[in-house]
Every structure is written in structure tokens, then in C-alpha cells.
């Protein structure tokens, strides 16, 4: 009796040691599932970011648990908090130090738009100094919202034409 092969995974009995795929798919798969965050915790939102990393919410399920405090080793800057004008150049410099490919999540009202701080001291949205991929609403957003943003970012990464970008660069 012939049954359909329901296995979605790589099966060494059938395929031997060879895997056939597209470069884009392979690269994006690796990038999306090992997105190491650069925690840019600047205010109260950072507390929710920490909660997202802890056992109840467990950002490790998405391969993003390795919070790197070194920009060279991180892929995704999570701007969690109020960016003051004094801090803005620092945020931009850290972003510049991150190696490509890199993404940015603006977590919370402050990072997205300045939030309730319509004042002389607060940058009115971090997108004025760095390109943002995903915005999260909320003050603060719940950890689930951060995880949702991470999944959205993964979906976005999976649509990228990474190979052509990689080889043309």
C-alpha cells in the first residue's frame, strides 16, 4: 500500500546527505530564526522587554533570546523606551555599529512617536534617526505584543530577496 509522505522535515532515508532548496529560503530561514536582539532599553518599556525574555513569555521560542549588549553581535535593535534628544545620537551610533543585515523594532508609544512626551527633550519617534521595521503600539505594550512584532518581523525577513542582495553587494 502506498501512503503519501506526510513528513515535512528533511528525511535522510529519502534524500541522503543532500538538501535542495533556494538560497533565499535557506538564508531567510536562518536569519529569521536566530534574530539576536540589541536591547535598547531606555525607559519603562524595557521592563516589558525583560518580561518577554523571562520564562512566562519566553522569547527563546522564537530564537531571539540572546540579548547582545554588543552591537556587533546583534541583528535586531529593540528600541524600548523614551528616546531623549541627548540619547538620540547614541542610539544612532549603536545602530551604525550593528553589522548588516539589521532590523529595528520600535517598542511602545515613546519609541514610535515620542508618546506622551511632546516636549523639548524628547525625540518625536525613533524613525527620525533610524529606519524602523515594526512599530508596536501601547504604553507599555504587553510582552505578547512584542512577540507578535517579532513574528511579523520574521515574516518580513522571510519575504526578503536575501541572496541577490548578498551576492550583488
Binding site for ligand SF4 (CB under 6 A): 43-45, 81-82, 108-110, 115, 139-140
Give the cell for residue 55. 520564562
- Binding segment toward other proteins, per CB under 8 A, in 45-53, 69-77, 124-132, 152-160: 124-132
Which CB sits closer to other proteins, 31 or 102? 102
Instruction: Show contacts with other proteins in window 40-99 (CB under 8 A).
Output: 85-86, 88-89, 92-93, 96
Which CB sits closer to ligand SF4, 149 or 157? 149
Alpha carbon distance, N-terminus to C-terminus of the chain: 51
Rounded to whole angstroms, the Cα distance separating 115 from 139 reads 8
Which CB sits closer to other proteins, 128 or 165? 128
Rounded to whole angstroms, the Cα distance separating 149 from 107 reads 9
Rounded to whole angstroms, the Cα distance separating 167 from 36 reads 23
Among 12, 33, 70, 119, binds other proteins (CB under 8 A): 119
Helix 45-53 crosses helix 143-158 at what angle (to 10 degrees)?
Answer: 70
Q: How many residues of this chain interact with other proteins, rule: CB under 8 A?
A: 19
Amino acid at each position: 500500500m502506498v501512503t503519501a509522505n506526510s513528513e515535512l522535515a528533511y528525511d535522510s532515508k529519502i534524500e541522503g546527505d543532500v538538501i535542495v532548496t533556494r538560497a533565499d529560503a535557506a538564508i531567510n530561514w536562518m536569519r529569521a530564526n536566530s534574530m539576536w536582539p540589541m536591547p535598547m532599553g531606555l525607559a519603562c518599556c524595557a521592563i516589558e522587554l525583560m518580561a518577554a525574555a523571562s520564562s512566562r513569555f519566553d522569547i527563546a521560542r522564537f530564537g531571539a533570546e540572546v540579548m547582545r549588549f554588543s552591537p556587533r553581535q546583534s541583528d535586531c535593535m529593540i528600541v524600548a523606551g523614551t528616546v531623549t534628544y541627548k540619547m538620540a545620537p547614541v542610539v544612532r551610533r549603536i545602530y551604525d555599529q550593528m553589522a548588516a543585515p539589521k532590523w529595528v523594532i520600535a517598542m511602545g508609544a515613546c519609541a514610535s512617536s515620542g508618546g506622551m512626551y511632546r516636549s523639548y527633550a524628547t525625540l518625536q519617534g525613533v524613525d527620525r534617526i533610524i529606519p524602523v521595521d515594526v512599530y508596536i503600539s501601547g504604553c507599555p505594550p504587553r510582552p505578547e505584543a512584542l512577540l507578535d512584532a517579532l513574528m511579523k518581523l520574521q515574516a518580513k525577513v522571510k519575504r526578503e530577496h536575501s541572496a541577490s542582495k548578498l551576492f550583488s553587494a
